[in-house]
Amino acid sequence: MTAARITVNGKEAPLSPAAPHTTTLDFLRERGLTGTKEGCAEGECGACSVLVARPGVDKPTDWVAVNACLVPAAALDGQEIITSEGLATVGEPGTPPTLHPVQEEMAVRGGSQCGYCTPGFICSMAAEYYRPDRCAHATSTDSAEPTEGMDAEHGPNGFDLHALSGNLCRCTGYRPIRDAAFAVGTPTDEDRLAQRREQSPPAPAATEYTQDDRAFLRPGTLADVLRLLRERPDAVVVAGSTDWGVEVNIRARRADCVVAVDRLSELRELRVASDHVEIGAALTLTEIERRLDGRVPLLGELFPQFASRLIRNSATLGGNLGTGSPIGDSPPALLALEASVVLAAADGEREVPLSDYFTGYRQSVRRPGELIRAVRVPLPLAPVVAFHKIAKRRFDDISSVAVAFALDIEDGFVRKARIGLGGVAATPIRARTVETALEGEPWVPETVEAAAQALRAQGTPMNDHRASAAYRSAMLGQSLLKLYAQTTEGVSS
């Protein structure tokens, strides 16, 4: 077992003497890389974002932006990261570095004022700059205005503004930042970070890092993990750390033993069989989105509304289901899809329908020593789907209510209905009475209005700072009415 170390801006940095819970943000700042900032310590502001070399979808390596405030530094043992300081090209001694094209555009277009959020914006922007399938939609990228056929969130240079959805700015305003994003060109052949994409990222390192009687462990195989969990059922299992990182930062949680499963190959497979799609529990939401490429339309509607791109670059389905949160965004969609979870333990596997998985607030049927290995979505898929998320912000927010629909409507009749709900009970739930009320009935206003009334009575919504119980109930019914309007738009009576 070699000493834990991370390659930062091309140079190796030993992890020791950092504690196992030390975040990548603190690890970097302690080494003088203060461009990486702490704004919220919850993964909501993006001031801490850095680039990590990860297995690519279209090339061997993708440069992926992640929240350094959430990722334990030990989780990046053997990995390669770039900070805002590492983007510029260092020249000869005595000469200033050459700004990266993203940095240059942010400077000349007034994208920085106080500068606190700027390094994080630049790292997120650089990840999109290096996205292999980004392509220009006009002969010139000098104009920052979208061209015909493009929406306001995609530039003529192919830049997707959703890449910046996890970065917040309090003083400059977003227009000059958008102008900079829509003005960047494409990497040149000499660009060292573009060239780096052609080589494989560092292989996952088996890690056994211990300081002060606390350990961060990354076993090499799933079998090793399951044996360890059998011996240490108290261990905290992490993948993207988007939930655990908040516990560490905000609630000062510490664990004697943390086990990382995010790079286990057995948990990172995506297979499409004749009767189901199996999604590895440790694939990030971004990886799932790009590998499925629209083959599961309901998940395609979910992903853009799930937190931000920065979070989706780390978050996993296994983690979102493992926390058991009643306001997680993926459970309603997976319930509507009639998904099941594959639970693995040292003595074997079992498959549990997701509708039977949750047993109480942040509780499930998962036993000590068990791990979510995969999520299975049965085929064929319902042809009419929708995911409605009601939140205070359009993106990068926690839902007050989430509703997922999967309907089979044939010859004007509802043949099958599945509805998943979040934010209205102690667990994510299926709206079974409403499903029954819809099935076999004509898809007409009278049916929908009666079912919407029944949907308003589902669950046990509560009053909190996000929404009142009455508002949540109202939104349930309104969501079904919205779906009906969407499915009948342009259809004459």
Query: 306-334 pLDDT, tens per residue?
Result: 999 999 999 999 999 999 999 999 999 99
Could you give the percent of the chain with pLDDT greater than 90? 88
Which of 162, 157, 150, 163 lies closest to 182 in space, CA to CA? 157
- Helical H segments across 109-203, by residue range: 118-129, 174-183, 192-196
Check residues 403 and 465 and name the one with the higher pLDDT.
Answer: 403
Distance of alpha carbon 187 from alpha carbon 59, whole angstroms: 14
For residue 146, pLDDT beyond 60: no
Q: Is residue 252 part of a domain?
A: no
Mean pLDDT of 69-74: 98
State whether 97 and 193 are in the same domain.
yes
Token duo for residue 306: 């799930």
Q: Is residue 335 part of a domain?
A: yes
- Helical H segments across 142-221, by residue range: 174-183, 192-196
Q: Is residue 236 part of a domain?
A: no
Query: 148-160 pLDDT, tens per residue?
Result: 556 788 999 999 9
Instruction: Look at residue 428 in the predicted model and tell me its pLDDT.
Output: 98
Examine the fold and report which residue of 378, 401, 424 is the final residue of a domain before the chain moves on.
378
Examine the fold and report which residue of 346, 378, 410 is the final residue of a domain before the chain moves on.
378
C-alpha torsion 15→17→19→22, nearest 10: -50
Order of strands, edge to edge, in the sheet holding 236-238? 207-211, 214-218, 257-260, 236-238
State whether 50 and 158 are in the same domain.
yes
The domain that holds 274 is classified in CATH as 3.30.465.10
Q: Is residue 59 part of a domain?
A: yes
Grade residue 172 by pLDDT with cuts at 50, 70 and 90.
confident
Query: 99-130 pLDDT, tens per residue?
Result: 999 999 999 999 998 999 999 999 999 999 99
| Region of poorest pLDDT, from 47-61, 134-148, 218-232, 412-426 | 134-148
Own/partner contacts of 443-449, CB < 8 Å, gap of 24 or more, are 443/409, 443/412, 443/413, 443/414, 443/484, 443/487, 443/488, 444/412, 445/484, 447/414, 448/480, 448/481, 448/484, 449/481
State whether 358 and 408 are in the same domain.
no
Mean pLDDT of 410-437: 97
Check residues 179 and 94 and name the one with the higher pLDDT.
Answer: 179
State whether 20 and 117 are in the same domain.
yes
Instruction: Look at residue 141 in the predicted model and tell me its pLDDT.
Output: 45
Grade residue 144 by pLDDT with cuts at 50, 70 and 90.
low
State whether 328 and 420 are in the same domain.
no
State whether 53 and 169 are in the same domain.
yes
Mean pLDDT of 157-173: 93
- What's this model's pTM, rounded to 2 decimal places? 0.94
CA angle centred on 207, ends 250 and 347, rounded to 5°: 95
Examine the fold and report which residue of 204, 227, 256 is the final residue of a domain before the chain moves on.
204
Looking at every residue in the chain, the average pLDDT score rounds to 94
Which of 124, 129, 105 lies closest to 169 in space, CA to CA? 124
Kindly report the backbone phi and psi dihedral angles of residue 401, in degrees, each rounded to the nearest multiple of 5, phi listed first.
-145, 140
Q: Is residue 250 part of a domain?
A: no
Q: Is residue 242 part of a domain?
A: no
For residue 493, pLDDT beyond 80: no
Residues 6 or more apart whose Cβ sits within 8 Å of residue 310:
43, 46, 49, 65, 66, 67, 124, 165, 166, 167
Residue 118 structural domain: 1-204
The domain that holds 399 is classified in CATH as 3.30.390.50
Which of 154, 39, 177 lies closest to 103 in space, CA to CA? 177
Which of 241, 293, 273, 282 lies closest to 374 in space, CA to CA? 282
Query: 34-59 pLDDT, tens per residue?
Result: 999 999 999 999 999 999 999 998 89
What beta strand segments (E) does 206-330 contain? 207-211, 214-218, 236-238, 257-260, 270-272, 276-280
State whether 50 and 188 are in the same domain.
yes
Q: Is residue 325 part of a domain?
A: yes
For residue 138, pLDDT beyond 60: no
Could you give the percent of the chain with pLDDT greater than 70? 96
State whether 357 and 421 are in the same domain.
no
CA angle centred on 399, ends 394 and 404, rounded to 5°: 95
State whether 27 and 88 are in the same domain.
yes
Number of independent structural domains in the chain: 3
DSSP letter at 266? G
State whether 23 and 88 are in the same domain.
yes
State whether 367 and 395 are in the same domain.
no
Which of 282, 290, 277 lies closest to 266 in space, CA to CA? 282
State whether 401 and 360 are in the same domain.
no
CA angle centred on 471, ends 466 and 477, rounded to 5°: 130
Query: 272-302 pLDDT, tens per residue?
Result: 999 999 999 999 999 999 999 999 999 999 9
Residue in the block written with tokens 């970070």: 193
